[in-house]
Amino acid sequence: MNTITSIAISGMNAATTRLGVSAHNVANAETPAFRRQQVVQETQAGGGVATRITRADTIGSDLAADAVQQMTALYSFKANLRTVQVEHDMLGSLLDLKA
């Protein structure tokens, strides 16, 4: 079983990937015959997530979907970061009690 920190870090990495793909899609929206990239996120057996990047089947951009992906990535990153911070605080408190 993975630690809470490693699970949260995999979530932050997934959010970073999602944000990068969205930025790539926005930057290339006006490129002729451009096919958007998409992030496929899968649960890992011991906890956490893995991501892979695929290409959309159709040609064209979807700026509204990319804006939503950027906001989703931001909130996901913040939530996972907060998980790491809470675990750090809890471990610190535990060490203070044992000392």
Banded pLDDT at 98 (limits 50, 70, 90): low
Examine residue 98 and state whether it is found in any structural domain, yes or no: no
**Paired tokens of 55:** 């290409």
State the total domains in the chain: 1
For residues 50-81, one letter each, b for 16 or more C-beta atoms within 10 angstroms of the residue's C-beta and e for the rest, the string is: ebeeeeeeeeebeeeebeebbeebeebbeebe
Chain center to CA of 45: 18
> At residue 1, does pLDDT exceed 60?
no
- Cα separation of 97 and 73, whole Å? 36
Examine residue 99 and state whether it is found in any structural domain, yes or no: no
Domain enclosing residue 33, as ranges:
4-91
> At residue 97, does pLDDT exceed 80?
no
Examine residue 84 and state whether it is found in any structural domain, yes or no: yes
What's this model's pTM, rounded to 2 decimal places? 0.84
> At residue 70, does pLDDT exceed 90?
yes
